[in-house]
Structure 1
Amino acid sequence: MEDLLAARLQMAISLGFHIIFACIGMAMPFLMAIAEYKWIKTGEQVYQDLAKAWSKGVAIFFATGAVSGTVLSFELGLLWPTFMEHAGPIFGMPFSWEGTAFFVEAIALGLFLYGWDKLKPWVHWGTGLVVGISGVASGIFVVAANAWMNSPAGFDWVNGEAINIDPVAAMFNDAWASQAIHMTIAAFVATGFGVAGLHALLLLKDRNNLFHRKALKIALAIGAVAAILQPISGDYSAKDVAERQPAKLAALESHFETERGADLIIGGIPDEENREVHFAIRIPGMLSFLAHGDLNAEVIGLEEFPEDEWPPVLVTHIAFQIMVGAGFLMMFVGLLYLFFYWKKKHLLFRRWFLWLVGICTPLGFIAVEAGWTVTEVGRQPWIIYEIMKTEDALSSMPGLQYPLYLIIALYLLLTVIVSWLMYRQVITLSDRYQTANLKAETDAD
């Protein structure tokens, strides 16, 4: 295996695992805060049990996220030393702020976990909010660093060296806002549907289990609202990419030729050699409209760029289609849930709807992984867009396939341990609320 491929795969696998932990760490604290809020307001024990169960999940993912994030930090320096030599002084500020947010989150989480009987209820609830806010801030700071790689700012590049460095301008680069908004909403979509789907599947075994019913309602409400908002942020991101990274837009849409009134391509298999897309559905003029707000606007094609600077079209296009497809399916389920909750509450726990929500369990995280594939692969061959190529940033150390194998083994083991811990937490509390031990639940809540 070539060292460049091994290094890129190692980063991809590490980031692929870490981003799941990060998404849950951003959104899950708000679920536990909502549950505790409802407990304080209603006094129903099930809400306190939910908050405690979800807080233990937050703690588990906080710990694993800290481990996987530390691994990524080391990988940046070990695998891409040339990149860090130049980029470190420029975009180091968001990483330092991320560290600050991380410590605040750790302190607040400790207070939440161990302060149930020691803090006043509203003070304790406030610590849960701080966990969520600092988790979101932490994610946004990391995204700011990634956005800088897509939209370099805050320096002048002269003779292969960065001069006149402005860390604030680097952090608040042109891609920062669109990526931060899109990623934050994606975290709430993925976590909301992931949690709701898990409880929906468990409800299939016991449809009157109060614990899972309450959990599903809270999680799916969050996921539904976020899924409805996500296409708006997606449109904002698409217009931003069209302006700053036209090659990426062309790759994700398999748009080979520059033209006005460009078609939006749905599905299909790109053929780079013949510069066409097979088996695709085309919507006339829609790509021009989505990219520039004008059905007749010109959209730049890949033909305008040297072929050695094309992103991998097949991977980028398919990842984009998966992201969009999963997003629209979750938006549909979210709209269906909100309609049922408003008008048809008796349908919320029908088996077919529980199956539908259960199928959505992994979709949010699949969409997140696909979206990051578009972001990272779509930027290739650049590690710093139009400044430094990925191959030029690679470490000279040989044998990079061996740490790749170690990372694969490590994350597979971590996945098994985390899955077992989460299953144990959910099932333990779920058993307390078996149908045989409950009064009939009404839909008054």
Structure 2
Amino acid sequence: MEDLLSARLQMAISLGFHIIFACIGMVMPFLMAFSHWKWLQTNKDEYLHLTKTWSKGVAIFFATGAVSGTVLSFELGLLWPGFMEHAGPIFGMPFSWEGTAFFIEAIALGLFLYGWNKINKWVHWATGVVVGISGVASGIFVVAANAWMNSPSGFDWVNGQAINIDPVAAMFNDAWFSQALHMTLAAFVSTSFAVAGIHAFLLLKHPGHSLHQRAMKIALTFGAITALLQPLSGDISAKDVAVRQPAKLAAMEALFKTSKPADLVIGGLPNVEQQRVDYAIHLPRFLSFLAHGDFNAEVKGLDSIPRDEWPPVVVVHVAFQIMVAAGMAMALIGLVFLFFAWKKKHLLFHKTFLTIVALATPLGFIAVEAGWTVTEVGRQPWILYGIMRTSDAVSPMSGLMYPMITFTILYLILAFLVTWLMARQIKVLHETYKPELQEA
């Protein structure tokens, strides 16, 4: 295996694991704080036990997210020294702010975990909210750094060197808002549906368990609202990518020829050699509208891009289709949930609906992984879009396959330990809390 591929795989595997921990770390504190608020309002034991159980999950994922995030920061320097030589002084600001948010999150989490019955109850609740806010802020700062790689700004590139550096302009680049919005909503959708799915599965095993009923309703409320908002952020992102990264949009839609108007492609498998998409459904003119808000607008195809600058079309297109399909499925489930909660409360915990929610447990994280595949693979062959190729930034050190294998094994062990710890928390919950079976 060549070193460039090994380095890219190591980053992909590291990011693939970390993004799950990061999403959960961003969103679980808000679920925890909402449950805590409900307990303060109602004094019902289910909310107190749920809050304490979720807080332990927050602590576990905070620790694992910190570890996996630290590994990623080291990998940037070790695997991509050609990139970091120039990028460090330019996009260091969002990482500095991310570090600040991380420390605030750590302090607030410590106060929340150990503040029970020691500080004012509303101050205690507020520390949980601060954990969530700082976690989301941390994620936004990291995404701003990634957005800079997709939309370089805040410097002039002269003779292979960055000059006239403006870190503020680099941080608030043209892509930061659309990427941060889309990623933040994705974190809420994926985590909320995963939590709801786990509690739906437990309800199938323990019908009428009021704690799991309340947990599922809280998580699905967050998940449903954000899942219905996500297509709006997707529209913002699509219009942004159409202007800044036409090659990425063309790969997402497998649009080989510049078209006016352009069809939206649903599904299908790109045939790069023949430059067509097999087995796809075409919606006439819809890509023109989604990309530019005009059904007759021209959309640049891959034929307008030099062949050596094409992203891997098959990977990007399939990942994009998976992301959209998973997102639409969750939006539909969320819509059904909101309707049931409004008009058909007796169906919320029907076995069929619980089964659907349980089966949807991994959908959000599948969408997140697919979305990041589109973002990162769709930028190739550039590590810094339009300026520096990935092949020019990789470490000259040979044998990069071995650290890639080592880190993969370590992440698998970490994932196993986290899963075991969370399963143990659920087991402890059932052993220590046995409510009457009732409707929530």
TM score, norm. by length of structure 1 = 0.98
Q: Encode CA deviations 1:316-363: one digit per residue, 9 max, x unaligned.
A: 000000000000000000000000000000000111100000011000
The residue aligned with 1:191 is 191
The residue aligned with 1:334 is 334
Please give the residue correspondences for 1:147-226 in structure 2 after superposition, counting only pairs within 5 Å.
147-226=147-226
The residue aligned with 1:105 is 105
Please give the residue correspondences for 1:84-163 in structure 2 after superposition, counting only pairs within 5 Å.
84-163=84-163
CA distance in 2, matches of 1:413, 1:35: 31
Shift of 1:433: 4.4
The residue aligned with 1:43 is 43
Give the secondary structure class of the aligned counterpart of 1:299: coil
Task: Indicate whether 1:348 and 2:345 are aligned.
Answer: no
Letter aligned with residue 355 of structure 2: W
The residue aligned with 1:264 is 264
Q: Encode CA deviations 1:238-263: one digit per residue, 9 max, x unaligned.
A: 00000100000000000000011100
CA distance in 1, matches of 2:322, 2:439: 39
Letter aligned with residue 438 of structure 2: E
The residue aligned with 2:438 is 441
The residue aligned with 1:372 is 372
CA distance in 1, matches of 2:128, 2:423: 22
Contact 1:178 1:233 in 2 (8 A): yes
Contact 1:203 1:354 in 2 (8 A): yes
Task: Indicate whether 1:239 and 2:239 are aligned.
Answer: yes
Task: Indicate whether 1:80 and 2:80 are aligned.
Answer: yes
Q: Encode CA deviations 1:372-426: one digit per residue, 9 max, x unaligned.
A: 0000000000000000000000100000000001011100100110000001112
Task: Indicate whether 1:70 and 2:70 are aligned.
Answer: yes
Contact 2:181 2:233 in 1 (8 A): yes
Q: Encode CA deviations 1:29-53: one digit per residue, 9 max, x unaligned.
A: 0000000000000000110111111
Letter aligned with residue 6 of structure 1: S
Please give the root-mean-square deviation of Cα atoms over the aligned residues, in Å: 0.8
Contact 1:148 1:176 in 2 (8 A): yes
Give the secondary structure class of the aligned counterpart of 2:256: coil
Give the secondary structure class of the aligned counterpart of 2:208: coil
Letter aligned with residue 243 of structure 1: V
Please give the residue correspondences for 1:272-283 in structure 2 after superposition, counting only pairs within 5 Å.
272-283=272-283
Shift of 1:442: 4.0
Contact 1:198 1:358 in 2 (8 A): yes
Contact 2:213 2:439 in 1 (8 A): no
CA distance in 2, matches of 1:317, 1:66: 32
Shift of 1:78: 0.3
CA distance in 2, matches of 1:273, 1:431: 60
CA distance in 1, matches of 2:107, 2:170: 29
CA distance in 2, matches of 1:100, 1:85: 23
Shift of 1:432: 4.1
CA distance in 2, matches of 1:261, 1:198: 44
Q: Number of residues paired by the alignment?
A: 440
**Percentage identity across aligned positions?**
70
CA distance in 1, matches of 2:46, 2:425: 15
**207-216 vs 161-170, which deviates more?**
207-216
CA distance in 1, matches of 2:33, 2:256: 48
The residue aligned with 1:315 is 315
CA distance in 2, matches of 1:361, 1:430: 21
CA distance in 1, matches of 2:427, 2:417: 16
Give the secondary structure class of the aligned counterpart of 1:219: helix
Q: Gaps (5+ residues) in structure 1?
A: none
CA distance in 2, matches of 1:401, 1:432: 47
Letter aligned with residue 210 of structure 1: S
Shift of 1:431: 3.7
Q: Encode CA deviations 1:131-190: one digit per residue, 9 max, x unaligned.
A: 000000000000000000000000000000000000000000000000000000000000
CA distance in 1, matches of 2:78, 2:251: 30
Displaced runs of 4 or more, over 4 A:
none
CA distance in 2, matches of 1:240, 1:425: 43
CA distance in 2, matches of 1:133, 1:153: 27
The residue aligned with 2:397 is 397
CA distance in 2, matches of 1:433, 1:328: 36
Q: Encode CA deviations 1:262-288: one digit per residue, 9 max, x unaligned.
A: 000000000111100000000000000
CA distance in 2, matches of 1:306, 1:294: 26
CA distance in 2, matches of 1:365, 1:205: 24
CA distance in 1, matches of 2:413, 2:15: 16
Contact 1:212 1:430 in 2 (8 A): no
CA distance in 2, matches of 1:78, 1:261: 45
CA distance in 1, matches of 2:141, 2:63: 19
The residue aligned with 1:411 is 411
CA distance in 2, matches of 1:263, 1:427: 51
Give the secondary structure class of the aligned counterpart of 2:265: strand
Q: Gaps (5+ residues) in structure 2?
A: none
TM score, norm. by length of structure 2 = 0.99
Please give the residue correspondences for 1:423-434 in structure 2 after superposition, counting only pairs within 5 Å.
423-434=423-434
Shift of 1:118: 0.4
Give the secondary structure class of the aligned counterpart of 2:205: coil
Shift of 1:427: 2.2
Contact 1:211 1:433 in 2 (8 A): no
Give the secondary structure class of the aligned counterpart of 1:279: strand
